[in-house]
Amino acid sequence: MINKPVFEKVAKKFADHFGKTHSVAAYAPGRVEVLGNHTDYNEGYVLSAAINMGTFFLAAPSPDTKCRLVAADRDEEATFDISSITPSTDMSWANYVKGVLSGLGKKGEIKNGFHGMILGNIPLGAGLSSSAALEISAGLALGELYGIRVHKKNLAKIGQAAEHNFAGVKCGLLDQISSIYGRKNHLVMTDFRTLDVENVPFAGKKAGAEACFLMCNSNAKHTLADGVYNERRAKCEEAAKFLAGVLKHPVKALRDVSWEELQQNASKMDTVAAKRAAHVVGECTRVLKGKDFLAQHKIEEFGKLMFESHESSINNFENSCEELDFIVAESRKIPGVMGARLSGGGFGGSAVILINPRDVDTATKAMSSAYIKKYGHACDIRVIKPSAGAKVL
Ligand code: GLA
């Protein structure tokens, strides 16, 4: 769902700043993770959605090898040369674009620089993947500018490599895939081993139900770059390695382990690794169940899986926080709420609430007042509708 006023604003700013109109533009949405937490890098399954908020990237060629990149909301300009694209601590937001440019450079020839401008409406640090939206919008626009065509899945990998090598987060592919493959009223079902992507009807006639999400941003700290995300990933890999040694069939990732197999071997494992594995294996099962529930129009059953997912985050993965737990616990008391859980990396950020659109106003009021009563300030609540994926404009 493209926000026209935001696009018109950035197009005008681009012209004012660079003294010329842009020659290419792209849009990429953020994402909400609905079921399947920390399963992507374990080669498991996720149900997610592209959201109705996103980022625009506008560009034009520069006359030389220099790049000028402007973050329109910050009025900051980063400059660099195509001959030395390296991450920098200064204006770190530019690293995502540099990472993407470097990835595109491996797929085709980049002979000259660009003038680029970014503007979006995804709240930052809320766990809605504003960074993936930036990578994908930059990848599409710059790919168009340089005539470098990459398959959607490779574009997602270029975005992921930017996170790994330019931002220091060893993330999976969830955020990029969701931003690219979103579809209105549908969830994105991804198998992260094969990278098969399917759009599953979620709302409207085909889904047989009316549903949408509320995102409640706790505004609690949400920094994946500080090492906790990478540490969780390492524990999952440790668990998979152990299980590969004791199970009789090949185990490449936690995706290959069943709940029963894990239970049989958990007592022999490092306790922390066993708990992390329980979360991932449980989440993979919940995603598959959830997909079936959606096909059977059992949206309330689907919601219960979201609550279970959050419980597992609390007890097994330990990636929740007090504020998120409060939001999820409160949401259980609010009429019309069918499910709630943390969304994304965790350790802060947002909780996603599954709700019938008719109950949005009352639920928002109830959650706001409960949150203010508890913490003395509001949490940021937004209605999220599964929306179309990224595109060149
Ligand atoms: C972050 C990462 C994703 C994924 C989620 C957790 O959003 O970027 O790759 O691992 O956390 O599911």
Helices (H) and strands (E) in the chain, counts: 11, 12
Residue nearest to atom 8 of ligand 1 (CA): 171
Q: Is the pLDDT of residue 224 over 70?
A: no
Q: Helices 360-375 and 322-331: crossing angle, nearest 10°?
A: 140
pLDDT-based confidence at residue 51 (cuts at 50, 70, 90): very high
Provide the residue type at 184 as one letter. Answer: K
Expressed in angstroms and rounded, the spacing between residue 175 Cα and the centre of ligand 1 is 7
What pLDDT is stored for residue 226 in this prediction?
A: 65
Residue range 275-314, pLDDT digits in tens:
999 999 999 999 999 999 999 999 999 999 999 999 999 9
What pLDDT is stored for residue 207 in this prediction?
A: 73
Contact indicator for 201, 207 with CB cutoff of 8 Å: yes
What pLDDT is stored for residue 220 in this prediction?
A: 81
Residue with tokens 């899986």: 305
Q: Which residues contact ligand 1 via a Cβ below 6 A?
A: 33, 37-38, 40-41, 171-172, 174-175, 344-345
| Three-class SS state of 187 | strand
Residue range 76-100, pLDDT digits in tens:
999 999 999 999 989 999 999 999 9
pLDDT-based confidence at residue 111 (cuts at 50, 70, 90): very high
Residue nearest to atom 7 of ligand 1 (CA): 344
Atom number, ligand 1, closest to the C-alpha of residue 36 = 12
Atom number, ligand 1, closest to the C-alpha of residue 132 = 8
| C-alpha to C-alpha distance for 31 and 174, rounded to whole angstroms | 9
pTM of the predicted protein model: 0.95
Active site residues: 175
Expressed in angstroms and rounded, the spacing between residue 343 Cα and the centre of ligand 1 is 9
Q: Is the pLDDT of residue 155 over 80?
A: yes
pLDDT-based confidence at residue 127 (cuts at 50, 70, 90): confident
Q: Is the pLDDT of residue 225 over 60?
A: no
What pLDDT is stored for residue 2 in this prediction?
A: 83
Q: Report how far apart the first and last C-alpha atoms of the chain are (Å, whole number).
A: 12
Provide the residue type at 8 as one letter. Answer: E
Beta bridge partners of 217: 350, 380
- The more confidently predicted of residues 179 and 208 is 179
| Three-class SS state of 46 | strand
pLDDT-based confidence at residue 223 (cuts at 50, 70, 90): low
Which residue out of 96, 128, 174 has the highest number of ligand 1 atoms within 8 Å of its CB and is therefore the one to mutate? 174
Which residue out of 136, 169, 171 has the highest number of ligand 1 atoms within 8 Å of its CB and is therefore the one to mutate? 171
- Average pLDDT (368-378) is 94
Collect all residues with Cβ–Cβ distance below 8 Å to 374 and sequence separation of at least 6.
326
pLDDT-based confidence at residue 126 (cuts at 50, 70, 90): confident
Compute the mean pLDDT over every residue in the chain, rounded to the nearest whole number.
95
Atom number, ligand 1, closest to the C-alpha of residue 229 = 11
Of all residues in the chain, what percent carry a pLDDT higher than 90? Answer: 90
Closest CA to 353 of 378, 379, 374, 332: 332
Contact indicator for 69, 94 with CB cutoff of 8 Å: yes
- Average pLDDT (12-41) is 98
The three-point CA angle 93-40-34 to 5° equals 85
H helices present in the chain, as ranges: 4-18, 94-105, 130-146, 152-162, 174-181, 228-246, 259-265, 271-295, 299-312, 322-331, 360-375
Mean pLDDT is lowest, of 58-72, 128-142, 218-232, 273-287, for: 218-232
Going from N- to C-terminal start, the domains of the chain cover: 4-195
What pLDDT is stored for residue 389 in this prediction?
A: 98
Which residue out of 40, 231, 236 has the highest number of ligand 1 atoms within 8 Å of its CB and is therefore the one to mutate? 40
- Average pLDDT (112-124) is 96
Q: Does the 4-195 domain belong in CATH 3.30.230.10?
A: yes
Q: What are phi and psi of 97, to 5 degrees?
A: -75, -40
| C-alpha to C-alpha distance for 117 and 114, rounded to whole angstroms | 10
